Structure 1
């Protein structure tokens, strides 16, 4: 055996020993840090005043981005700001201006401004606080870890609300006992990766409360959590007030709104429209939204001969007037939390045709009353549902009228009062 081979043969076992030895050291280091945090929390608790909810801070990944979570967080923050001191704490700032208007009375704080300032050395290192399989992991770095940890540990009072698993987990780990901690689930438990679910099951019990959007997801958490938060509750998002009037349901147009991602299932919608176009070539499907799958969707539209029949409109800040031009709304998502866009469409008097994806559509839509719920991922039944509403104007009008009534039940005044009641009861628990 050559010298280099002998050295290599020795090095590999040594490297393995070093790596295996490092794991217990890391675990020991983690235990020491957590023990120090617990000791510090106990010290703070002895001199802490009674907890109160005057100050509300909401942790959000990127407040200047677009998407349902950002829109609904701003909507809730605006309502709570009537009676509370409310600040949205954005982990990063990657766009110079907010996509959605910031509500009156709401402040926005950015922990890391990636527009005005260079990222710096620490931004080259991956996050150690956020689970690697968390969907937004690539947004986080060692720099955001430090800024987020400092911010959470600086809080001495009020309510701190997380809006995604990574932020909820960090809040549960680092928040001081003087702070009321609330985790929000904007998607659903089953969509998270196994390693993320594992941490959720172990750590969410340190939160004071967890709020899901749907009853289905609430039951999932009740069944899976080993150590439950003090309160488990279900509060849906409120429908966002939109500009524009109610649709007359006369245009030969269907519409959907959502980011051009795999989750939203636009590829399945395009395949369904092949069947629709065969029976109703004068109808058009408009897809409003932007995203990384645009080129693939354009290729699919061309492949299926649907150019001019399925139109990718791009992102729009004001979707209300566009919804009001359509005669029905279609949702083809593979999974959702609680698809607010269904309620937004209903608020314009649009009947909805939607896959029964996990979770949300079946809780928002009453089949045959304000929309049609289609078996999940069934392309031809989705097309049949669309054609049913195209061909039956009376049904379209009836479902649209009921859709308006359904949307009214999710008005911000109603949902906002549920949040106020929830927060009051949470504080009364001590």
Structure 2
């Protein structure tokens, strides 16, 4: 099969980029003709390994000098494209020039499968991709996280897709209510591998990771950890990631007198090692799609303390078995849960073992064949199975 993946920035970092690259690699390894298309390019080299059998294509190269499409939000209102609505999280990328490049690419396709990977690209594909191309829309975020401007466009245009794929059963119910006549299929993202080095529960370290943006709620986690160190002063919190809120978070650490207890080391090439050397993983997000770094942590037998945010944590975790779920944005509750788990090593070991067992359902050997089966069914015009996902 000819399978094309259209991404915003295949050269960037982030959970969605990593999971799409992993999918493309798996399809190439299975013998398919795979093209990975990056709408923009802002780095010289991809941050994740791409199978050499994959054709890597860039539509708008923004590496040289000042990026012609990097403009202020106010100016973007004057030069933005016509399809991508305000409210899309990456809307500032979609100037008229960038949007036109995406439209020209998809409208020139013939046959095969096109997988688009965020609402902006899905909306362009729905309106411009020829009818002889099998169109698949991936949704990596829960529907309720989008503003009304995006939900209205999804309701209006997603009916033209052969399938819309989502990450959890909760996501599926949301999208089915909005798209009753469109096949909505649950296929979770796969972890890199499940046979990881396990935590020995020997180090007094809590780990969190993700983009330093409001969505991830690291401000709430730092506030909670200020309560934790009053009870367990020997414990440390390490928050890995980069992003625009770094200075604000650093200021919050200083404000709470936590400079000896909380560090923000930035991006690391050895996150797997950092997870194996920790004892607890904390997820403080205000909202999620499917929190992949959390599941990666579970492969290292780390118990999880997480906000029960929409969506993802509850679709993976069983409260009290492989982690602890806390009401969303409840800083005191998050602190209490961390204090309880930190103070009971036997509980951490038991939950960590259960977490490792749960994570096996997200192994690439189970998830990637779901994609291949879905593509085969769609390519042959068969009716899509009601639900591919048989995990939790």
Q: Using a 3 Å threshold, how does the CA distance of structure 1 residues 313 and 119 change in structure 2: closer, same or farther?
A: closer
CA distance in 2, matches of 1:161, 1:277: 46
CA distance in 1, matches of 2:111, 2:220: 48
Pick the structure with more helix per residue.
1
Is the Cα contact below 8 Å between 1:355 and 1:375 reproduced in 2? yes
Which whole-Å CA distance do the structure 2 matches of 1:306 and 1:234 have between them? 41
* Structure 1 residue aligned with 2:356: 404
Counterpart secondary structure, 1:330 = strand
The 1:383/1:122 distance shift into structure 2, 3 A limit, reads: closer
* Deviation of 1:106 (Å): 2.4
Query: Which structure 2 residue ranges, 5 or more long, are not aligned?
Result: 383-392
Rate the CA distance shift 1:346–1:120 in 2: closer, same or farther, 3 A. closer
Task: Give the counterpart of 2:307 among 336, 355, 361.
Answer: 355
Residue 388 of structure 2 aligns with which residue? none
Q: CA deviation at 1:111?
A: 0.4
C-alpha distance after superposition, 1:244-286 (max 9, x if no partner): 7221111000000111000000010011001101000000000
Greater CA radius of gyration, 1 or 2? 1
Query: 1:175 matched to which residue of 2?
Result: 129
Instruction: Identify which of 388, 393, 405 aligns with 2:340.
Output: 388
Q: What corresponds to 1:344 in structure 2?
A: 296
Unaligned stretches of 5+ in structure 1?
1-53
In structure 2, the CA distance between the partners of 1:122 and 1:151, relative to structure 1 (3 Å rule), is farther
Aligned-pair distance for 1:108? 1.6
Distance across 2 between alignment mates of 1:222 and 1:245: 39
Shift of 1:148: 1.1
1:47-196 correspondence runs (5 A): 54-82=1-29, 83-116=31-64, 125-196=79-150
Shift in alpha-carbon separation, 1:70–1:120, aligned structure 2, 3 A = closer
| CA distance in structure 2 between the aligned counterparts of 1:405 and 1:242, rounded to whole angstroms | 9
Matched ranges for 1:411-426 at <5 A: 411-426=363-378
The correspondence of residues 256-405 of structure 1 with structure 2, limited to 5 A, is 256-405=208-357
**Conserved 8 A contact 2:194-2:363:** no
Moved more, 105-114 or 276-285: 105-114
Check whether the contact 1:99–1:317 (CA below 8 A) recurs between aligned residues: no
Q: What's the C-alpha RMSD, in Å, of the aligned pairs?
A: 1.8
SS in 2 for 1:409: helix
User: Is contact 1:204-1:228 (8 Å) kept?
Assistant: no
Relative distance call for 1:281 and 1:362 in structure 2 (3 A) is same
Alignment partners' CA distance in 2, 1:300 and 1:120? 35
Alignment partner, residue 34 of structure 1: none
Compute the TM-score of the two structures, normalised by the length of structure 1: 0.84
In 2, Cα distance between the equivalents of 1:366 and 1:63? 34
Shift of 1:386: 0.9
In the superposition, the TM-score normalised over structure 2's length comes to 0.92
> What is the CA deviation profile of residues 1-40 of structure 1, one whole-angstrom value per residue up to 9, with x for unaligned ones?
xxxxxxxxxxxxxxxxxxxxxxxxxxxxxxxxxxxxxxxx
